[in-house]
């Protein structure tokens, strides 16, 4: 790691979180960006200068959906009981650092045991160790335990249990609340599927009275509408988003976090294991619906944030950038993808000094080869990265 020093980036493009701009200089002093102006205005600067000709300087990225306690195995929470606490703490710290080195300066942990992820979050906040900004919800609130992810779930088995569950999870030190309004998207339309009523979701989102945002894993169309109407900050996946859901989300300023990477990797593992043709077909249909929902939402003017579900089967921490490629393959425009990975994610997490390049913002930056608005691989693949800085310190490159 290179210690902080006044540094001027000049010569190439700057993606500031909103648009791609040229002929700018960006001055970093200490932990912050202190000036963004024309390159000519920095004439006579005698500090460290980094020539970015042929490259693009951009904000460090935000992953709005990870699971740091998960090990990306077929049963990602299966080792939580087996691992000693010190070992789990070390694993979470290592996974967070892997994402930081891949250019992700902030992570939103959307479900964990409520132990190690809080410990590492707090250690990073105190400056005791290096890592990205972490926000964590602890245990997810879920209606049914079914063997997958149970170790990171708080069971609220009936609608009436939801408010007490929210208060209990909030008391553990959560930064936000995650209510799963859809557990099994293949059961959408079935009357007995394990989902909460719209009224229960509304009462669950009363966590705002505790000063906490609420998010929702919602895939069935009616669940998306209920979550959006209740005022969640974001809908995760939104696979079967319909016109009513789009309208409700936009009207309530709800962000969509599509999560394509984990779905791709879980589906690939199912095929490799020789899953049933019916299950493989159903998974492929759901994946196509998720991609389509993201595009329709963006086309309607909705705001997307990038989330990977890293830690889920096959999705190792540090491979977060692959999500950008999948969003591009789904048909999203490069600028929309870059905004989702920076400004939108930062704003979703309330991190208004990250995800942007402007005076006063934190100097958490990524320098990549080429122009990512023409080729998203420049951001998605670490081989194109020339440097990662976090709070003014260079962690990668140089």
pLDDT of residue 270: 66
d(CA 62, CA 132): 9
Contact 3, 45 (CB under 8 A): no
Determine how many CB atoms are found less than 10 A away from the CB of residue 133.
25
**Helix 85-101 vs helix 116-126: crossing angle, to nearest 10:** 60
pLDDT of residue 190: 78
pLDDT of residue 272: 67
d(CA 194, CA 218): 12
Strand order in the sheet with 32-38: 32-38, 24-29, 7-10, 48-51
- Of 173, 220, 174, nearest to 201 by C-alpha is 220
Contact 68, 117 (CB under 8 A): yes
Contacts 24+ apart (CB under 8 A), 281-290: 282/186, 286/185, 286/186, 286/219, 286/239, 287/260, 287/263, 289/239, 289/240, 290/237, 290/238, 290/239, 290/258, 290/259, 290/260, 290/263
Q: Sort strands 234-237 and 385-390 into parallel, antiparallel or unpaired.
A: unpaired
pLDDT of residue 258: 96
The gap from C-alpha 26 to its chain's centroid, in whole angstroms, comes to 26
Q: Which residues of the chain have pLDDT under 50?
A: 1-2
Token digits for 132? 């990205």
φ, ψ for residue 8, nearest 5 deg: -110, 125
pLDDT of residue 74: 85
pLDDT of residue 4: 57
**pTM for this entry:** 0.95
């Amino acid at each position: 790691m290179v210690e902080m020093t006044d540094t001027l980036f000049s010569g190439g493009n700057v993606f500031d979180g909103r648009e791609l701009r040229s002929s700018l200089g960006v001055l970093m002093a200490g932990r912050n960006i202190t000036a963004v102006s024309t390159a000519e205005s920095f004439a006579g600067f005698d500090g460290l200068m980094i020539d970015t000709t042929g490259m693009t300087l951009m904000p460090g990225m935000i992953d709005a959906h990870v699971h740091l306690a998960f090990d990306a195995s077929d049963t990602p929470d299966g080792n939580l009981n087996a691992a000693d606490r010190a070992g789990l703490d070390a694993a979470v710290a290592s996974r967070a650092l892997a994402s930081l080195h891949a250019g992700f300066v902030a992570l939103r942990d959307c479900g964990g045991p409520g132990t190690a992820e809080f410990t590492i979050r707090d250690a990073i906040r105190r400056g005791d160790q290096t890592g990205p900004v972490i926000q964590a919800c602890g245990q997810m609130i879920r209606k049914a335990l079914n063997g997958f992810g149970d170790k990171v779930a708080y069971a609220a088995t009936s609608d009436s249990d939801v408010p007490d569950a929210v208060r209990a999870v909030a008391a553990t030190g959560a930064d936000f609340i995650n209510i799963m309004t859809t557990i099994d998207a293949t059961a959408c339309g079935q009357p007995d599927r394990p989902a909460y009523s719209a009224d229960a979701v509304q009462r669950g989102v009363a966590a705002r009275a505790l000063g906490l945002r609420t998010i929702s894993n919602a895939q069935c169309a009616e669940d998306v509408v209920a979550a959006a109407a209740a005022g969640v900050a974001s809908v995760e996946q939104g696979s079967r988003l319909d016109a009513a859901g789009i309208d409700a989300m936009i009207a309530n300023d709800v962000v969509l976090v599509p999560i394509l990477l984990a779905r791709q990797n879980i589906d690939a593992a199912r095929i490799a294991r020789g899953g049933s043709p019916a299950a493989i077909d159903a998974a492929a249909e759901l994946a196509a619906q998720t991609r389509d929902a993201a595009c329709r939402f963006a086309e309607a003017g909705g705001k997307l944030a990038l989330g990977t579900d890293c830690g889920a089967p096959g999705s190792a921490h540090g491979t977060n950038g692959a999500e950008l490629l999948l969003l591009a393959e789904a048909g999203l425009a490069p600028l929309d993808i870059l905004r989702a990975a920076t400004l939108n994610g930062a704003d979703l997490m309330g991190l208004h000094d990250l995800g942007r390049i402007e005076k006063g913002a934190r100097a958490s930056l990524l320098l990549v080869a080429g122009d990512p608005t023409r080729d998203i691989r420049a951001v998605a693949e670490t081989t194109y990265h020339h440097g990662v800085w976090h709070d003014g310190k260079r962690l990668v490159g140089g």
